[in-house]
Structure 1
Amino acid sequence: MTDVLIVGAGPAGIRAAETLAAAGVKPVVVDEAERGGGQIYRRPPDGFSRPGRKLYGSEAGKAADLHRVFDALVAEGRVRHLPRSSVLGLYRGQAQVLGPDGVESLHHDRLILATGASDRLAPVPGWQSAGVYSLGAAQIALKSQGVAIGRRVVLAGTGPLLTLVAAQYRAAGASVEAVLDTAGLSTQLAGGLRMAAARPRVTARGLAMRARLGGTYRAGVRLDGIDAGAEGELELSWRDGRGGAHRTACDAVAMGWHLRSETALADLAGVPFDWSDTWAQWLPRADEMGRAGGGVYLAGDGLSILGADGAEIAGRLAAIACLADLGLSAPDPLRDLRRMRRMRRFADGIARAFPWPARAVRALPDEAVLCRCEGITAGELRAALPGSGQDANRAKSVTRVGMGRCQGRFCQLAGAEIMAGACGVGPERMGRLRAQPPVRPASIEALAEPRGS
């Protein structure tokens, strides 16, 4: 019997598992959470009192359906679920999986990577201060534990998640002092027209959410820095679209510039990558069904940033491709392929409406911290260029940028932008940091004594 391993139990992973199970294939699903749902539909602990409508808003019905489907698959024994587990590495059909009981090696003939995405962060002077979070972290705190990251919160960055987290925090009773969007209204309008043409209802829902923020929301801002006081208080300095200076006091800041695909396992699996001008990042290459070659299939935001609805479709398509390649009966993919093309048009509009702030990142002052894990400044990276040249991996070796706990997830894109700005070229000329196992932090004890050894 062919062993199929799915990494990730978010919308893409769940729909892939459902499609395989319907065809009689029992996949193994590895996920870092206790229960399926992914980041977007993350589930709170048992006994949590906030209802689904408060947690997921208009998407509560979709969240409940995905949770029900996955729970049923596990309860019926049609899926083997390994919760609280991370894939550390991949090598010749073996996945090294770190779970609650240590590390074990899982054989697989086919691999579906539904690894999702994380926040795309642009450094700002002072962002290393205590009390500064990513937008995703702010949302996880609310969904997982029912707490806000602070009593007075400032949200900054750009993209749909900025508005969504602001709306969720206000609904939970938190005081949102300001919502600062680095994308100007004219830029948002140009991309928004594409969004509306592809998915008018979703676009209208986002606009309504934005309107409810009122004067708290400001577009076209420039973030100058974050100052931290001795008692933990913060003050964010910013300029409005006309250049007027402002300082907003708070006790927590959450930042994010849309998302970056989680691609480390795709890299270890030997998947080729291409630079995306649309998303200003390296993305793995696959066909429209998610085939990436060598028995590897990609689905969801780990392949392309298409959101939760697009991830569900991509998960089904990847599973259909897997079944077809195994010579098994598979559903007709035509309807999902048509829907996926619409999702891509919508995502293209999002990317254009809420662009990566390349100019601001290139202008980051020398004294500003670039790599929070290692405390490396933008100036240190620029100073290393004569020795590293236009090569991200060599710059990593020289400066330690990207060597910390996050393995470059939060600093790689900004680092490449800073190097490119100093060299007068595009960021793609810097290359990309190569993934290395373990792709998640693991203790020496767990690695030294794998389960079953």
Structure 2
Amino acid sequence: MSEPSSPRIVIVGAGPAGIRAAATLVEAGLHPVVIDEGHRAGGQIYRRPPAGFVRTPEQLYGSEADKARALHLLFDRMADEGRLTYCARSSVIAVHEGRLHVLGEGGAEVVFYDRLILATGASDRVAPIPGWQNAGVFSLGAAQIALKAQGVALGRRIVLIGSGPLLTLVGTQLLKAGADVAAVLDTSSWRQQMRGFWGLAARPIVALPGLTLRARLGRRYHAGVTPERIDADGQGVTGMRWRDAGGRERVTPCDMIGIGWHLRAETHLTDLAGCAFTYDELWRQWLPKADEMGRARNGIYLAGDGARLLGADGAEIAGRVAAAACLADLGRPVPSVGADLRRLARLERFARGLAQAFPWPGAMVRALPDDTIVCRCENVTAGAVREGTTLGGGEANRVKSLSRVGMGRCQGRYCQLAAAELIAAHAGFRPEDVGRFRGQAPIRPAPIGAFLRES
């Protein structure tokens, strides 16, 4: 246990980054508080199913089963021994001047901190397709979560569309589970994928298994496609219309479509914490600024995909490094991080190779028809975003106020990147000149009743 005078360190997120950060602090004799939305630690990538679930870790996580099992056991042991405080099923909905506003099963409460490590992870980066607002359209991550947490496929006949490693991974996971995957459609052409070769060569032991997974998809996999429209009737999705690399129009009947173009960093809390951001042209999104150790500002540290999109291995390393930075700033003995920093640099090269090989489909988004729904929460069309740009100029928050894009339950998580492309194209700007939507608290929907307490 920590000394009575020990600083109060809070970690938000119990994925690979949060678990490794917690372990580093515990080894140094501190007692961190870990807050996470899941019912059990593991994060999205190593999400754990309910107790009594019959599928094995090998079936759930494939080649990463040993890593998942090790992280789960490490965290559970620290929690069982009382060496950390774990707040499960709890969402941090706001942060301000040393206080976290946390929404848990018992309502809302305030948690104070002296040091804060944000390991908030990432979510699907999705792009609008005409018809994507219909029932039966999910993100790739949602399809994967349903498979891991409940052992179910979300449709009887499935089409996946997007780009990036998750597209291939989810396709092969569904096939292995016995699902009927009709097609896996990649918007990145073979030529584009080869442009990221030298970056991907930084981790051949990861790149080669990825090619093996691709091979398992066989003739279901198509590169260089252009999505046209999602067909639907009153019951939901009925088919996917797309053009192949040769320009031929194709229609694939299905009742479920999964979409996703790699990941977007989850940065809402980082924004509310007052951290600075910079636009990353290769990733086509705003990412928070931090030094190589994860220091974003005084007393706040960033780790994992919420800061740099380096995947699960990178998140583990970044969690250790951020905790080491925290220890150094507290004047405590610090474990050596030289080797970790070198590994992060190599992972950075690999990740940027992925971003180059499987890019965000900016041109596709900019060409969306006016009647395409961009913001599903508020039913805002591409035409409404363009009209808002005409009336208010090419500034993201002004267009947001005029069109209501990004004002719904997800607070722009699914539409902000597409809206920025549309605004920039219509105004003749670059996406980075448009700016980003300002973060608003609460960052998750919160019931009024959660804030009402008896005297």
TM range (shorter): over 0.9
Q: Which residue matches 2:357?
A: 353
Matched residues in 2 for 1:352 and 1:75: separation?
Answer: 43
Asked if residue 428 in structure 1 is aligned to residue 432 in structure 2, the reply is: yes
**Aligned mate of 1:40, from 8, 28, 45:** 45
Matched residues in 2 for 1:60 and 1:164: separation?
Answer: 14
Asked if residue 269 in structure 1 is aligned to residue 269 in structure 2, the reply is: no
Asked if residue 29 in structure 1 is aligned to residue 28 in structure 2, the reply is: no
TM-score when scaled to structure 2? Answer: 0.98
Matched residues in 2 for 1:57 and 1:392: separation?
Answer: 41
Poorly superposed stretches of 4+, deviation over 6 Å: none
Q: Which residue matches 1:2?
A: 7
Shift of 1:234: 1.6
Q: Which residue matches 2:346?
A: 342
Matched residues in 1 for 2:12 and 2:242: separation?
Answer: 40
Q: Give the alignment of 1:65-104 within 5 angstroms.
A: 65-104=70-109
Matched residues in 2 for 1:232 and 1:354: separation?
Answer: 29
Q: Give the alignment of 1:297-336 within 5 angstroms.
A: 297-336=301-340
**C-alpha root-mean-square deviation of aligned residues, in Å?**
0.9
Q: Which residue matches 1:229?
A: 233
**Aligned mate of 1:204, from 168, 185, 208:** 208
Checking the alignment, whether the CA contact within 8 Å between 1:152 and 1:250 is kept in structure 2 is yes
Checking the alignment, whether the CA contact within 8 Å between 2:134 and 2:236 is kept in structure 1 is no
Matched residues in 2 for 1:7 and 1:325: separation?
Answer: 19
Matched residues in 1 for 2:338 and 2:56: separation?
Answer: 36
Q: Which residue matches 1:444?
A: 448
Which secondary structure does the structure 1 equivalent of 2:133 belong to?
coil
Which secondary structure does the structure 1 equivalent of 2:100 belong to?
strand
Percentage of pairs with the same residue: 59
Shift of 1:259: 0.3
Matched residues in 1 for 2:390 and 2:258: separation?
Answer: 35
Matched residues in 2 for 1:122 and 1:62: separation?
Answer: 31
Which secondary structure does the structure 2 equivalent of 1:104 belong to?
strand
Matched residues in 1 for 2:403 and 2:268: separation?
Answer: 21
Q: Which residue matches 2:195?
A: 190
Q: Which residue matches 1:54?
A: 59
Shift of 1:117: 0.2
Which secondary structure does the structure 2 equivalent of 1:44 belong to?
coil
Which secondary structure does the structure 2 equivalent of 1:204 belong to?
helix
How many residue pairs end up in the alignment?
450
Q: What residue identity is the alignment partner of 1:22?
A: E
Checking the alignment, whether the CA contact within 8 Å between 1:274 and 1:285 is kept in structure 2 is yes
Matched residues in 2 for 1:322 and 1:78: separation?
Answer: 18
Matched residues in 2 for 1:161 and 1:424: separation?
Answer: 32
Which secondary structure does the structure 1 equivalent of 2:196 belong to?
helix
Shift of 1:294: 1.6
Matched residues in 1 for 2:238 and 2:83: separation?
Answer: 50
Deviates more, 1:233-242 or 1:356-365: 233-242
Asked if residue 177 in structure 1 is aligned to residue 182 in structure 2, the reply is: yes
Asked if residue 242 in structure 1 is aligned to residue 243 in structure 2, the reply is: no
Matched residues in 2 for 1:195 and 1:232: separation?
Answer: 38
**Aligned mate of 1:213, from 206, 209, 217:** 217
**Aligned mate of 2:150, from 145, 148, 154:** 145
Unaligned runs of 5+ in 1: none
Asked if residue 64 in structure 1 is aligned to residue 69 in structure 2, the reply is: yes
Checking the alignment, whether the CA contact within 8 Å between 2:135 and 2:237 is kept in structure 1 is no
Q: What residue identity is the alignment partner of 2:112?
A: H
Checking the alignment, whether the CA contact within 8 Å between 1:192 and 1:203 is kept in structure 2 is no
Matched residues in 1 for 2:15 and 2:298: separation?
Answer: 23
Asked if residue 411 in structure 1 is aligned to residue 415 in structure 2, the reply is: yes
Shift of 1:330: 1.4
TM-score when scaled to structure 1? Answer: 0.98
